[in-house]
A and B are shown apart, each in its own frame.
Chain A
């Protein structure tokens, strides 16, 4: 209190009241929420166990096949193959599979939430005015701050890790969907209205296809955000590569941290290439902007 800022209100009591209210919320709704997210947890476990029990060469073939299908480029496919093999060589195969599972589920859920929200936002300036600062807060608030309530609600584990990851990863999907739809050429949209298209027909025949490059850029960013969250999420029990980094810090083992860190970088490259190729592939029919 040396600064002498006057005590205008009792912030300590306010904090206590907030804590009490949240504790009551946890007591009343904790179990319901846990039950509600059970299917997500099952999906995550299924995916993780699936990836870990499959022979390594099946996973390798799957990733390489996906890359080739999306990119039609042998160079990119070879890069993804080599990096996948490297994950095994570094001795972090199982951890990498757990991380992939968490990331894929988090990304899919982020897209499932983010793209429709972005569509709604593009249609309502009022919603956009409200949502923009909320998205800013979601991205700038230190992640540990919203880890606290999630851990209180669900206990340490994969669900709070997944939810925290989604909160962090969803904003780019929302923003770039909204932006993409708002940037659609007004005359093309007007043409579709002039031919009697309903709002739904406008959305699916004009707005979404033309916003696709932007939406896919958002999906790519969402993937990268989700991946960058895995280290922090591991602190509340997400496991995977992030946990190895955490252990490296705790045991002061440079090698463990380095290898897991390299694994995360490799995963980032693999998924960035796949997401980019998917984005380009979905745009090929757009040709150059007419």
Chain B
């Protein structure tokens, strides 16, 4: 075991007949459009470098065509890169041979799909057991484990239903239970909630956060929805045209966008819901008016107090100790994106 977590080093992917040659052209400066026109090769990803910590939710965010779905399929090698390395706990997974890769997929990494990818001819319980049975776990053990996971995602009692009999949200919870059942430390979620309608999507996001607080998996989450990325991600990488434009925490991306693209992207975000009181606290101020806000709470929780005419509100840390205060002016600056 080397460093826990995942390191992506210089991953590039070119689609076409002679990808290695085409990649040489890219390295010598040819652009994506020119490459496609002159050689018929499509540049999917170019020189991706990421560090993903063990136990965090890492969101890869981008619009369609940005390469995010291609990128996530590199972590379990559903797609092979043209160049680069991927280290999982220090081990280069690109060196795994066929049986090694199969074992890696069976035990170390699991995946949740946008359109669920459930087997329509098997019932819910059999679907959740799928990864375990593939791995040769006995039916009895697999069933026991599958029932636990179904209870965990709130689907106890639905074991004998078939996927087509469930709503989208329930189907995706089956998909999540199936991925959790193998006890893999890494969870890949490919636009897992994008096919759900907004209310259910939000429920699922909260459920995932609650589960993650218990399970502490390393989760790589793909989305095209910035609000979802900011809500879930401990770290976020913004992908455009196959390159990473910026990687960092949600607050970093909001407050210090690396370039115009990212800036335009985050322009319409509801900052009051994403930025926390702690991030705009002035530690030099102490106020003794009653009422305070938690440093980890979003700025919007302080709005009610400001509405009653307060000029400054005390901010407390997790133990209830005052650490400073937020002022009306600071809130306005944060909302204006300064």
Q: Which residues of A contact B (CB under 8 A)?
A: 185, 187-188, 190-198, 201, 205-206, 209-210, 285-290
Residues from 70 to 127 in B contacting A, C-beta threshold 8 Å = 76, 78, 101-107, 110-111, 113-121
Residues of A within 8 A of B117 (CB): 185, 187-188, 190-191
Residues of A within 8 A of B269 (CB): none
Contact A196 B164 (CB under 8 A): no
Separation of A90 and B306 alpha carbons in the complex (Å): 97
Contact A285 B105 (CB under 8 A): no
B44 within 8 A of partner (CB):
no
CB nearest to A284 among chain B residues: B121
With A194-B110, A196-B102: A290-B131 Cβ-Cβ less than 8 Å: no
CB nearest to B109 among chain A residues: A194
Separation of A285 and B127 alpha carbons in the complex (Å): 14
Residues of A within 8 A of B182 (CB): 195
Residues of B within 8 A of A194 (CB): 76, 78, 105, 110-111, 188
Could you pull out 28 A-B pairs where Cβ atoms are within 8 angstroms? Answer: A187-B116, A188-B118, A188-B120, A190-B78, A190-B117, A191-B113, A191-B117, A192-B130, A192-B134, A193-B78, A193-B105, A194-B76, A194-B105, A194-B188, A195-B110, A195-B134, A195-B182, A196-B101, A196-B104, A201-B134, A205-B130, A209-B119, A287-B121, A287-B162, A287-B164, A288-B164, A290-B163, A290-B164
Separation of A259 and B76 alpha carbons in the complex (Å): 65
CB nearest to B101 among chain A residues: A196
The contact of A289 among B103, B106, B120, by CB within 8 Å, is B120
Separation of A210 and B119 alpha carbons in the complex (Å): 9
B159 within 8 A of partner (CB):
no
B279 within 8 A of partner (CB):
no
Q: How many positions in chain B have a CB within 8 Å of any CB in the partner chain?
A: 32
Contact A209 B134 (CB under 8 A): no
Instruction: Please give the distance in Å from B169's CB to the nearest CB on chain A.
Output: 14
Instruction: Please give the distance in Å from B105's CB to the nearest CB on chain A.
Output: 4
Instruction: Please give the distance in Å from B238's CB to the nearest CB on chain A.
Output: 25
Contact A195 B105 (CB under 8 A): yes
Q: Which residues of B contact A (CB under 8 A)?
A: 76, 78, 101-107, 110-111, 113-121, 130-131, 134-135, 162-165, 171, 178, 182, 188
CB nearest to B111 among chain A residues: A194
Contact B131 A190 (CB under 8 A): no
Q: Which of B113, B116, B119, B178 has the most CB of A within 10 A?
A: B119
Majority-rule SS of A interface residues:
helix
A-B contact count (CB 8 A): 76
Contact B111 A196 (CB under 8 A): no
Residues of A within 8 A of B164 (CB): 287-290
Separation of A54 and B334 alpha carbons in the complex (Å): 92
Contact B135 A196 (CB under 8 A): yes
Instruction: Please give the distance in Å from A197's CB to the nearest CB on chain B.
Output: 5
17 additional contacts, CB 8 Å, given A188-B117, A194-B188?
A187-B117, A188-B119, A194-B110, A195-B106, A195-B110, A195-B111, A195-B134, A195-B178, A196-B103, A196-B135, A205-B134, A206-B119, A209-B121, A210-B121, A287-B120, A290-B120, A290-B162
CB nearest to B102 among chain A residues: A196
CB nearest to B184 among chain A residues: A195
CB nearest to A212 among chain B residues: B121
Instruction: Please give the distance in Å from A65's CB to the nearest CB on chain B.
Output: 27
CB nearest to B171 among chain A residues: A290
The contact of A285 among B101, B121, B135, by CB within 8 Å, is B121
Contact B102 A210 (CB under 8 A): no
Separation of A288 and B164 alpha carbons in the complex (Å): 7
Separation of A188 and B103 alpha carbons in the complex (Å): 19
Separation of A205 and B121 alpha carbons in the complex (Å): 10
Separation of A286 and B162 alpha carbons in the complex (Å): 9
Residues of A within 8 A of B188 (CB): 194
With A193-B78, A289-B164: A198-B121 Cβ-Cβ less than 8 Å: no
Separation of A261 and B106 alpha carbons in the complex (Å): 58
CB nearest to A193 among chain B residues: B78
Separation of A288 and B115 alpha carbons in the complex (Å): 16
Q: Which of A185, A209, A287, A289 has the most CB of B within 10 A?
A: A287
CB nearest to B161 among chain A residues: A287
Residues of B within 8 A of A285 (CB): 121
Instruction: Please give the distance in Å from B73's CB to the nearest CB on chain A.
Output: 8
Instruction: Please give the distance in Å from B16's CB to the nearest CB on chain A.
Output: 17
Residues of B within 8 A of A188 (CB): 117-120
With A188-B119, A191-B117, A209-B121: A196-B106 Cβ-Cβ less than 8 Å: yes
Instruction: Please give the distance in Å from B176's CB to the nearest CB on chain A.
Output: 13
The contact of B118 among A196, A286, A290, by CB within 8 Å, is A290
Separation of A249 and B284 alpha carbons in the complex (Å): 111
CB nearest to A285 among chain B residues: B121
